[in-house]
Structure 1
Amino acid sequence: MPLDAWISLAVVLVVFPLMAFSRLGPDIVLLGAVILLLTLGVIDPAQALGGFSSTGLFTVAFMYVLVASIRETGGIDLIIRHVLGRPRSEGRAMARLLLPVASLSGFLNNTPVVATFIPAVLSWSRRLQLSAHRLLMPLSFASILGGTITLFGTSTNLVVHGLLVERRPDLDMGLFDIAWVGVPVAVAGLLYLLLMAPRLLPARRDVASPFANPREYTIEMEVDPAGPLVNRSVEEAGLRHLQELFLVEIERDGNVVSVVGPGERLKGGDRLVFAGTSEGAVELQQMRGLVPSRHGESSLEKEFKERRLVEAVVSDQCQFVGQRIRDGHFRTLYGAAVLAVCRGGERVAGNLGQVRLQPADVLLLEVRPPFIERHRQSRDFLLISQVNGQARPNHEKAWLAWSILAAVVALATLGVMSMMNAAMLGAAAALITGCCSVGAAKRGLDTQVLLTIAASFGLGAALEHSGAAQALASGVLGLAGSSPWALLVAVYVLVSLLTSVITNNAAAVITFPVVMAGAEALGVNPMPYVVAVMFAASASFLTPIGYQTNLMVLGPGGYRFGDFLRVGGLLNLTTAAVALVLIPLVWPF
């Protein structure tokens, strides 16, 4: 091998231990590796920066915008309510998540599937008091397993099939031919995730949890007369088992229902009084059919997208001290809706509108952005801080946000345009239609994931263009000798390792001609080896940079490099064992 190839291999051997054992993020480690390779002349500037112009990078970026539009319109709640539900155990929760994800990924590109489910799983896990750390990696792995079921399940399958047809048109495959192996591989992988992943992934407490705000608020919401909760029972509306929230009473036509049973039917205009935390208030804001209680005239009607949630501490100089919130027209004067009130770290008993404000009361307010700057130095409030959560979504546009995402997936699946082009048009449509503001779109971008994707392309380019990947492929396949079985195992192991350090498509493209030449030299059917390349290239469970869905869950799940090795290593062995047994049975040598 040339010197550049040895340097590339040495850098790779340093990069992975750094990501596994250092506290540096994968984006910093990979960017450092690319800078070193560029400095040593192994790659040129175009190759080093090639990842920043890759279609994969921009596809993920535009998908983040589409997901932000669904989150801003409250569409995430539809996934939680109708797909994920309220399972009674972690095992059932895992099953409710993995089965639909794997099924969808067999027919849709898994990037939008995972991008859509990540915020839903984060919110869902909070409601169920489960650790998102134990759900997000299985989410990514399930989407990868689902992609192996059909020929169009992943772009890698299509790339390999294209290379095969170009070289041997007589070996053309049907869309569902690989399902004979893909379905058993997916079933075995999902069983592994259901049984073993919970044992291999420890539940890590959120870093912020020891410092969580212990204040308990009185929170009041109103049932929208035109919303979907009218005539539903408290149980059916999902208000019975809310985490960090308790439905204290219902005020209806001047009467108070103080003992609220699960069968109590909700009516339009009902005022629901909850006891709970600020995080619980944020969860209530996301629920379609609930609106802030109307105290006086509203100056915030329909202005959803620019709302914020803030906590404000009432000063003794506030003009509303001693007055009831409802009588004081608080909303009209400040342009802020009072969602909840806390006094002395505890909730205030009674109806929110009847509460008389006192100095040092903490109010949870729904406001427009100018409120924060306008009243930060105001004598009416001692302190104003923004809550880590969005205000009430614009549920009226949820159907539009979902329609845009469905159109994007349909355009890409039917081959009308590339996934990147479809995602770009979808992101533009989300901004133009008001499903997502520019600010929300910017906040939705995960820069660590995007930088890691871009840098990984530079590292892959070094292995590919220096000849290191080609030399490894030839060397490993040369060890297989004259045994068809040994060659099949060598092909699978080689591609599986390569796809952990370079892109799936690059691993397949590099090894395909070598694999075909090896099969022809042995005088055997090349189909088992072609299918092995497809499955091994998709079996990217070992590292976070092996597949872009792994990168997408890396940050939200708080994972370390070792987590992927521990869980993904055994999953790689499981899927490899099933695939290597079945492939020769379906496509004999």
Structure 2
Amino acid sequence: METFHIIAVFIILVATFACFVKEWLPVDLAALAAFALCMLLGMLDADDVAAVFNNSAPLTIGAMFVLSAALNRTGVIDRMAILFTKAAKGSELRALVILALLVAPLSACVNNTPIVIVFLPVLISFARSANLKASRLLMPLSFIAILGGTMCIFGTSTNILVSGVSAKEGLEPFGVFEILPLGVIYALVGVIYLLTVGRKLMPSRDTVSSLFGSDDLRDFTSSAVVPEGSPLEGKKLSESDIWENPEFRIYYVVRNGQRLGMSPLDELVLHEGDTVVLKASTRGVSEIAESGSLSFYKAPPTTERKKIKLVEAMIGPHSNFIGKKITQLDLRSQYGIVVAALHRKGVNLTENVGKITLQFGDTLLIEAPESNLQRFENTRTDIIFLNDEVERPFRRKKAIFAMAAIVCVVLASSLGVPILTSAIVGAVAVMVIGCVDPREAYNSIEWPILFIIYGMLGLGAAMENTGAVRMVAENIAGGLNPFGPLVVLAVMYLLSSALTEVVTNNAVAILITPIVISIAEGMGVDARPFVVAVMFGASASFATPIGYQTNTYVFGAGGYRFSDFVKVGLPLNLLLWIIAIIFIPIFWPF
């Protein structure tokens, strides 16, 4: 049975990683499925399952999401973004330097995902005003946020997770600032690279809105009436010439003073006297008026010449748009907006956009009258607006309390209070004070990340129970033992970094940490430097847009190609690998 379990756990491991890479299942579902299979096959008993859910790391990570949301909701991060715009003064180099000074320290103390989300529209707007390509700034934003996260245990979920797993394996818990010296070196080296070599390699890509030239960005809507005898009368909109005419964008139809929105817009049958609200070019108006299909002279004056806006919006990780086609969302009928184009994985798409199934990270180019767009922005909290974002009422009077909570959590943890205790107390405090209300706090937690962690903790426990971890450790140690601990450390860092680029960093951290601890025990050396190597190798992910969530965010928003991350990020990965080999043994001797 032991041999069967070892073979089975390796099959589950390979299948899970394949699901991560090929996206056959959502990552969190794949991790939970692996956990369930391990229970089903008898590799985990009830006590093992209880031990997985007793792990403090996921709860700590959830509490840090809430603290980050408090900083965001009270306008602290937004204020920093405003200061950035004022200080950058239209210079790309100056903008990168200031970005490093703001984002890196902030990312050291709180989750870096909301920081990147807040700065995304700021940098896009800045690039537009400075006549720069946003792609020159967005990748550095993500990279700097990742580098900042390596300076403190709170900086990334990976740091918290590795610390928790290693403590469970018997190592002394990591101090809050124990990794600060190496993290500062990482940040300095990384920023210098981005300002010099990285800046030369940085691509100049067009975002999705650049697909449309100035002739296409028409700035008004018109209203047209279906006249008596019109060839459109009695026809569905989808059967009319104007539905697919590139000179028009139809937003909604008004009948007897009431906006029609109960049925899909393309299925709507036009009647005499209906008012069609649409965007039209001068040429389009002339063509349709000449055909007699619509009249542009009897429309109610209140619907004429409204300003049109183009907005780039990204599908967030919790959006209910994920898995649906644009045609299924019926955005024209519900909001009077049109999806003009879509950017995904380095490709700008304009053909058959409505038939594409949406994914997290997709960037949509949305076109609509101002009032329609405002209504859409106000009701869709699961969409990240990358430009012309609607103003939100920050709770600025509570900002001092949010900042005080973060400081207290960090100080308490550095003085010996368990990280879980200080983080949960801080999260509850910001909710009680009103920095963030409970509903916003719940929504701020990246639940898929927590489910991935629980699933992979379960798989990791199964690997330990079956002896798979010991087998891997003995084989690696046996092959590398003659070369000494430094070579083993270099290999394990490189393995952690490489795996992180194709699967989630938290999964890699959970699986590799017990292995390196076993290897160190077998070699008779301290396991701490190997654990640090896993922590930094799994956190510092730059070579692909899928290894780290902030990279996924900027991938769509910046119009990047997959190869752009390889070109800019891979040299940085290798540079930091060398830094790790040099400095980890200095700070944490074998």
TM-score using structure 2 length: 0.56
Structure 1 contact 69–436 (Cα < 8 Å) conserved? yes
Q: Which residue of 1 aligns with 2:383?
A: none
Q: Aligned partners of 2:446 and 2:170: how far apart in 1?
A: 38
Shift, 1:181, TM fit: 5.8
Q: Which residue of 2 aligns with 1:429?
A: 429
* Structure 1, unaligned runs of 5 or more: 219-310, 319-341, 347-355, 365-375, 377-381, 521-525
**Secondary structure of the structure 2 residue equivalent to 1:4:** helix
Q: Which residue of 2 aligns with 1:187?
A: 188
Structure 2 contact 44–461 (Cα < 8 Å) conserved? yes
Confirm whether residue 33 of structure 1 aligns to residue 34 of structure 2.
yes
**Secondary structure of the structure 1 residue equivalent to 2:377:** strand
Residue deviations 1:131-163, cap 9 Å, x none?
Answer: 58624541443134434999xx95589779989
299, 302, 307: which one aligns with 1:358: 302
Q: How does 1:410-489 map to 2 (within 5 A)?
A: 410-415=410-415, 417-484=417-484, 487-489=485-487
Residue deviations 1:111-149, cap 9 Å, x none?
Answer: x15145233222323322425862454144313443499
Q: Aligned partners of 2:141 and 2:562: how far apart in 1?
A: 14
Residue deviations 1:92-124, cap 9 Å, x none?
Answer: 54443345444456xx54xx1514523322232
Q: Aligned partners of 2:104 and 2:198: how far apart in 1?
A: 17
Q: How does 1:84-99 map to 2 (within 5 A)?
A: 85-86=87-88, 88=90, 92-99=94-101
Shift, 1:315, TM fit: 9.6
**Secondary structure of the structure 2 residue equivalent to 1:480:** helix
Q: Aligned partners of 2:50 and 2:207: how far apart in 1?
A: 37
Q: Aligned partners of 2:520 and 2:47: how far apart in 1?
A: 29
490, 493, 512: which one aligns with 2:491: 493
Residue deviations 1:317-373, cap 9 Å, x none?
Answer: 69xxxxxxxxxxxxxxxxxxxxxxx99789xxxxxxxxx982467699xxxxxxxxx
Q: Aligned partners of 2:64 and 2:508: how far apart in 1?
A: 19
**Secondary structure of the structure 1 residue equivalent to 2:376:** strand
Q: Which residue of 2 aligns with 1:534?
A: 532
Q: Aligned partners of 2:400 and 2:177: how far apart in 1?
A: 32
Structure 2 contact 60–160 (Cα < 8 Å) conserved? no
Q: Aligned partners of 1:81 and 1:313: how far apart in 2?
A: 40
Q: How does 1:130-529 map to 2 (within 5 A)?
A: 130-131=134-135, 134-135=139-140, 137-147=142-152, 183-194=184-195, 195-196=197-198, 199=201, 205=207, 358-359=302-303, 386-389=375-378, 391-415=391-415, 417-484=417-484, 487-494=485-492, 497=495, 500=500, 502=507, 504=509, 507-512=512-517, 514-518=519-523, 520=524, 526=525
Structure 1 contact 431–437 (Cα < 8 Å) conserved? yes
Structure 2 contact 405–430 (Cα < 8 Å) conserved? no
Q: Aligned partners of 1:17 and 1:493: how far apart in 2?
A: 22
Q: Letter of the 1:497 partner, please give it.
A: L
Q: Letter of the 2:126 partner, please give it.
A: L
Q: Letter of the 2:491 partner, please give it.
A: V
Q: Quick one: structure 1 residues 503 and 455, their matched pair in 2 at CA, closer, same or farther if it must change by over 3 Å?
A: same
Structure 2 contact 64–111 (Cα < 8 Å) conserved? no
Tell me whether 68-77 or 562-571 shows the greater mean CA deviation. 562-571
Q: Quick one: structure 1 residues 315 and 160, their matched pair in 2 at CA, closer, same or farther if it must change by over 3 Å?
A: closer
Structure 1 contact 140–553 (Cα < 8 Å) conserved? no
- What is the percent sequence identity of the aligned residues? 22
Q: Which residue of 1 aligns with 2:73?
A: 72
Structure 1 contact 43–462 (Cα < 8 Å) conserved? yes
Q: Quick one: structure 1 residues 530 and 31, their matched pair in 2 at CA, closer, same or farther if it must change by over 3 Å?
A: closer
Q: Quick one: structure 1 residues 203 and 510, their matched pair in 2 at CA, closer, same or farther if it must change by over 3 Å?
A: same
Structure 1 contact 464–470 (Cα < 8 Å) conserved? yes
Q: Letter of the 1:574 partner, please give it.
A: L
Shift, 1:314, TM fit: 10
Structure 2 contact 405–429 (Cα < 8 Å) conserved? no
Residue deviations 1:192-242, cap 9 Å, x none?
Answer: 4554488478958469998xx968699xxxxxxxxxxxxxxxxxxxxxxxx
Shift, 1:477, TM fit: 1.4
Q: Which residue of 2 aligns with 1:272?
A: none
**Secondary structure of the structure 1 residue equivalent to 2:492:** helix
Q: Which residue of 1 aligns with 2:8?
A: 7
Q: Which residue of 2 aligns with 1:370?
A: none
Q: Quick one: structure 1 residues 446 and 514, their matched pair in 2 at CA, closer, same or farther if it must change by over 3 Å?
A: closer
**Secondary structure of the structure 1 residue equivalent to 2:482:** coil
Shift, 1:472, TM fit: 1.3
**Secondary structure of the structure 1 residue equivalent to 2:375:** strand
Q: Letter of the 1:358 partner, please give it.
A: T
Shift, 1:541, TM fit: 4.7
Tell me whether 127-136 or 488-497 shows the greater mean CA deviation. 127-136
Structure 1 contact 102–143 (Cα < 8 Å) conserved? yes
Residue deviations 1:414-462, cap 9 Å, x none?
Answer: 3464333333333333333333234433443434333333333333333
Shift, 1:80, TM fit: 0.5
Q: Quick one: structure 1 residues 580 and 67, their matched pair in 2 at CA, closer, same or farther if it must change by over 3 Å?
A: closer
Q: Letter of the 1:426 partner, please give it.
A: G
* Structure 2, unaligned runs of 5 or more: 128-133, 222-250, 259-276, 282-299, 309-333, 335-370, 379-389, 501-505
Structure 1 contact 30–452 (Cα < 8 Å) conserved? yes
Q: How many pairs were matched up?
A: 428
Q: Quick one: structure 1 residues 447 and 97, their matched pair in 2 at CA, closer, same or farther if it must change by over 3 Å?
A: same
Shift, 1:543, TM fit: 6.8
Q: Quick one: structure 1 residues 586 and 7, their matched pair in 2 at CA, closer, same or farther if it must change by over 3 Å?
A: same
Q: Quick one: structure 1 residues 73 and 534, their matched pair in 2 at CA, closer, same or farther if it must change by over 3 Å?
A: closer
Shift, 1:555, TM fit: 5.6
Residue deviations 1:373-406, cap 9 Å, x none?
Answer: xxx9xxxxx9897332565414542424533543
Q: Letter of the 1:550 partner, please give it.
A: Y
Structure 2 contact 75–395 (Cα < 8 Å) conserved? yes
Shift, 1:557, TM fit: 5.4
Q: Letter of the 2:146 partner, please give it.
A: F
Q: Quick one: structure 1 residues 133 and 101, their matched pair in 2 at CA, closer, same or farther if it must change by over 3 Å?
A: closer
Q: Aligned partners of 2:190 and 2:62: how far apart in 1?
A: 29
Q: How does 1:555-574 map to 2 (within 5 A)?
A: 570-574=571-575
Structure 1 contact 474–514 (Cα < 8 Å) conserved? yes
Q: Quick one: structure 1 residues 95 and 472, their matched pair in 2 at CA, closer, same or farther if it must change by over 3 Å?
A: farther
Tell me whether 37-46 or 475-484 shows the greater mean CA deviation. 37-46
